[in-house]
Amino acid sequence: MRKRVAIVGAGPTGLYALQELITSKHPLEIIVFEAEDIAGKGTPYQRGINDPAMLSNIPSIEIPELPMTLVEWLGAQPKKYLSQFESGLNQISERAFYPRVVLGDYFRAQFEMILKRGLGANHEIEIRESAAVVDIVPSDARFGIRLSSDTGLELFDYVIVATGHSFQTAPETSQGFFEAPWPATALRTVPCGEVGVLGTSLSAIDAVVTVAASFGMFTRRADGRLGYVIDQAHESFQATMMSRKGLLPEADFYFPIPYEQPRICTAQAVASRLALGSSGLLDDVFDLFRAELALADPDYARLIRLDTLTVDTFADAYYGVRDQHDPFEWAAINLAEAKRNYAKKHTVAWRYAILITHEIIESAVGSLTADDLARFNRTFKSIFADDYATVPHLSIERLLALHQADRLRIVALGDNSAISSEGLERGAAVKSDKIILRFDTFIDATGQKTQSVEDLPFPSLKERGFVSDALTITRKGNYRRTGGVDVDDHCRPLLAGVKPVRRLYLPAISYLLHKRPFVQGITSAAELGQMVARSIKEDIMRPVRSRRARPPRRRPDVSATAA
């Protein structure tokens, strides 16, 4: 008898899970539920949700294996398809960056190929689009799926909750106040005036570019530089990007792929330290990281006085050079350097050392004490995100063009700021220790927030205790909530932090960020999808020995809320 597997969500995580599941030697019945009307793309890559001007920050060479590479797929597309985008996509290469919607079209094509392969391998696969799952109901050793159409429960042996990113479908929560930059179609309705964007990452850049494209045009000048020309009717357009430090992300830099292996801060070294327990773990892991960085780039180590730094002070030194420059001046300098290095295929050693250790460092985060987790989040975490979340060169060019046209500025808010729309007919006011800013339109573009049990849209799992808040041990031995849902190494929800729920998997990014802060992007989606699918295949092979464990009556005591 075929085991029935439900995949809830058909974005990249569901895509890679399906690709792995169809390699099962046991024929499966797989049903994919997708809330959107087109499966296989994912929220960050859907048309309508994303504007064609919004760029992805992953090139073809970094996308984990699918039936075709992105370069191969683009090479097979007709000129009519390629010409609909601003750049014409006429320079196709494995390291180039493309609009998000292009990746969505690519993923959809791969989804269809995987589906065909799965059917050819004797699996039964059904794709249900416009099928929003509103509840997952435990039923003895199985789980029932209930749709918004209220068609009753449909039982499955395994359920993969691959809902990925989670954003509101109507982000404009009050007049002129957007709690997210998606869907992009909503940003196209923004009236001309003062526009404030919270955040300076690629999501924030995309939001600014999308709005700016409504009021003017980006043009390539004869000297090759990008310019921005405002429409005469929209002279009042002005954009402000805001963040704590007021820094822009850096331009994508050249580095070898696949990653080279660290020599000191290795996975084995961190695993050996993990075996000794949580006490002092963060400082010891930082010592490994510091030694790796010093070995990789001695000149950089001397420049920032690395030997004097701690996990709490490293970020200040890391950002120190940039802090001394105007953000746009630094962006121009950094962009020119990145372009030169790409042309020479030169890798900046210290940048690469940070890049190749970020996932190794992340492996220790789940074992940190609550106090050390707070320290990590407060300072150290940001330098890894800054390093791996560099942005396409075109994104930096667009920001420089807007600034040169006197349409964009950046403001550093500092550590104490507040945002409010109270008493305003439209938009928001932003207050910090030094300034008060008033915007006709305000857009929060700070990205995916960590979500916890109360945010999970499946009431039966919560009511019956099959999901629980993630808890982190403190130095005193009690537990503290730190956000997210508690899962094991296979993304199975944990009962009271100990026993995994068999046959239920939660590789949904927004519920994992608390302990896996870098689990974002296509590579993470592939890792999660493949991992849960392999776990299912292994479980199918395992003899049935006992019934599903019931949720325990008691849970650990919980102290103060999130660190």
Within 13 Å, how many C-alpha atoms sit on residue 297's CB side? 17
pLDDT at position 336, please?
98
In the structure, what pLDDT confidence band is assigned to residue 563 with cuts at 50, 70 and 90?
very low
Q: Give me the helix-helix angle, 267-274 and 349-365, nearest 10°.
A: 30
- Give the number of other CB atoms < 10 A from CB of residue 271: 12
- Secondary structure of 433-484 in HEC code, one letter for each residue: CCCEEEECEEEECCCCCCCCHHHCCCHHHHHCCCCCEEEEECCCCCEEEEEE
Tell me how far CA of residue 55 lies from CA of 4, 135, 203, in angstroms: 37, 34, 9
In this predicted structure, which of 90-94, 214-218, 230-234 has the lowest mean pLDDT? 90-94
Question: What is the model's pLDDT at position 471?
Answer: 74
The residue ranking higher by pLDDT, 492 or 483, is 492
State the average pLDDT over residues 183-207.
93
CB 480 within 8 A of CB 498: no
What per-residue confidence (pLDDT) applies to 166? Answer: 63
Query: Confidence class of residue 165 from pLDDT cuts 50, 70 and 90?
Result: low
At residue 556, the pLDDT reads 43
Res. 234: pLDDT tops 80:
yes
- The residue ranges of every structural domain in the chain are 3-166+450-541, 172-249+392-444, 267-387
Q: How far apart are CA 177 and CA 166, in angstroms?
A: 18
Burial class (CB in 10 A: 0-12, 13-18, 19+), 126: exposed
Instruction: Kindly report, residue by residue over 35-71, the tens digit of the pLDDT.
Output: 999 999 998 899 888 888 889 989 999 999 999 999 9
Query: How far is Cα 120 from Cα 356, in angstroms, rounded to an integer?
Result: 39
Chain segment 249-262, per-residue pLDDT in tens = 999 999 999 999 99
Q: What are phi and psi of 99, to 5 degrees?
A: -55, 150
Among residues 267, 161, 160, which one has the least CA distance to residue 534?
Answer: 160
Contact present, 182 and 49 (Cβ < 8 Å): yes
**Phi and psi of 470, rounded to 5°?**
-70, 135
Higher-pLDDT residue of 286 and 186 is: 286
pLDDT of 128 higher than 80:
yes
The mean per-residue pLDDT over the stretch 13-32 comes to: 98
DSSP 83: T
Helix (H) or strand (E) holding 239: strand 238-243
Report the CATH fold assignment for 172-249+392-444: FAD/NAD(P)-binding domain (3.50.50)
Rounded Cα–Cα distance for residues 138 and 155 (Å): 9
Question: Which residue's entry shows tokens 């503290």?
Answer: 480
pLDDT in tens, 335-379: 999 999 999 999 999 999 999 999 999 999 999 999 999 999 999
Strand partners, 558: 479
Mean pLDDT of all residues in 371-397: 95
- CA 300 – CA 250 distance, rounded (Å): 17
- 3-state SS assignment for residue 13: helix
3-state helix, strand, coil in the chain (%, to 5): 35, 20, 45
The Cα 555–Cα 563 span in angstroms is: 20
pLDDT at 460: 96
Residue 537 has pLDDT above 50, yes or no: yes
Residue-wise pLDDT for 397-447, tens only, equals: 999 999 999 999 999 999 899 999 988 999 999 999 889 999 999 999 997
Query: What pLDDT does 404 receive?
Result: 97
At 456-487, the pLDDT tens digits run 999 999 999 999 888 776 676 666 777 789 99
Q: Percent of the chain, pLDDT > 70? A: 93
What pLDDT is attached to residue 451?
Answer: 85
CB 349 within 8 A of CB 296: yes
Same-fold call for 3-166+450-541 versus 172-249+392-444: yes
- Indicate whether 247 pLDDT > 50: yes
Min mean pLDDT across 260-269, 309-318, 444-453 is at 444-453
Residue 553 has pLDDT above 50, yes or no: no
* Contact (Cβ atoms closer than 8 angstroms) between residue 536 and residue 28: no
Q: Give the residue, 504 or 188, on which the prediction is more confident.
A: 504
DSSP string covering 123-190: -EEEEEES--EEEEEEETTEEEEEETT----EEESEEEE-------SS-EEETTEESSS-SHHHHTTP
Mean pLDDT of the chain: 91
- Topology of domain 3-166+450-541 in CATH is FAD/NAD(P)-binding domain (3.50.50)
* pLDDT on residue 90: 64
Cα 304 from chain centroid (whole Å):
29
What contacts 540, CB < 8 A, 6 or more positions away? 3, 24, 26
Identify which of 19, 10, 3 has the alpha carbon closest to the alpha carbon of residue 527: 19
